[in-house]
Amino acid sequence: MQPLHGVKILDFSTLLPGPMCTLLLADAGADVIKIERPEGDDMRAYAPKLGEDSVNFSLLNRGKKSIIANLKDPLTREKIEALIREADVIVEQFRPGVMDRLGLGFEQVHVLNPKLVYCSITGFGQTGPYSQIAAHDMNYQAKTGMVGLGAGADGAPQVPPVLVADLAAGAYPAVMNILLGLRQRDLTGEGCHLDVSMADNLFPLMYWGLGHGWAANLWPKAGDELLTGGSPRYQIYQTSDLKYLSAAPLEDKFWKRFLELIGAPELIDLEQPTLVKASIARIIAAHPAAHWTTLFEGQDVCVAEIVTLEQATQDKHFQERGVFKRQLKTSSGKVLSALPTPLCSPFLSPDTMATSPSLGQHTDDLL
């Protein structure tokens, strides 16, 4: 039996943070009911399409049920309230106050179901001067200093390639707090309101920068620090065939072996990072990537060639581990690899095929 078997979740969220959160919970056995407006989750219309819906929607909403509900309609809301009385968890990601105006805020539904764990995912939290500001992932990273740490060689910040706020600071903390909320309910019999702020949750990911700033007033700068490009031990080097190596021999034993293998042991005691970086860059640039990967194979030097996402999905290591072995069937019958989630195998269903719902597929059954 999966750990969340029998847990019923009402998912009022759209797009990414909430749906990723409830995807993880569904993978662990929860019964997730996605409540969509009549026109459906905006993500359904994204490109590329895979049948009726976008591939993004299908990847994020497999294994869930879908019902259509106009939350402004009193009759429909009464039917939703009947579901709330039976639910264990609500996940929503509207701006603060929206669910209250719909009559579905925490205080209102707590009267219907005092044991309900109510999770609100927002950009800046339920309170504070920014709570009503419209923003997206990059904006949260910008306001918390994260984008500022990722400047390129010209000193200009780069567009982040990963939706860190939505996922690492939104969906994942929501899952963690929902599980804690359910555990606390086991002990007290009472539900709770979880205020998950994506901006707040970005700060723990920059723990080292906060520590340097608080302890020694050494607030980190882009390109100058150990992990932002300031060290030759944590650096990207270009090869002669215009490919790139990620070199991270941070510890002395790795650093020493790395320099021995590239034929530059004299650099080990040189205390001029800029000069060392330039020297290593010239050495790496003299040979193609294949030369270096062959040279470093089997060596403890913490070097890896930078590959594309497509190449990574075909890598023998991830194939052997079965990272992409689970499959997804869309509502149109198309089959593709399912999005991997970070749940360990003991918590997953033995059924390796899941289906994403068509819009309103379960409305008649559930309402």
CA distance 41 to 69: 12
Active-site hit among 166, 195, 224, 300: 166
Q: What is the SS3 assignment for 204? A: helix
DSSP one-letter code for 270:
-
Residue 337 · residue 59 · CB < 8 Å: no
R_g (Cα) of the chain, nearest Å: 24
Residue 32 · residue 11 · CB < 8 Å: yes
DSSP letters for 82-110: HHHHH-SEEEE-SPTTHHHHTT-SHHHHH
Residue reference for tokens 């749940």: 343
CA distance 181 to 117: 6
Angle 172-188/17-27 helices, nearest 10 degrees? 60
- The two three-digit tokens of residue 8, written as one number: 């019923």
Q: How many CB atoms lie within 10 A of CB 234?
A: 17
| Core vs surface per residue 274-308: b (16+ CB within 10 A) or e | eebbebbeebbeeeebeebeeebeeeebbbeeeee
Q: Active-site residue 166, yes or no?
A: yes
> What single letter denotes the amino acid at residue 329?
K
Residue reference for tokens 């320099």: 259
Closest by CA position to 245, among listed 187, 175, 293, 181: 293
Q: What values do phi and psi take at 178, rounded to 5?
A: -65, -45
Residues designated catalytic: 166
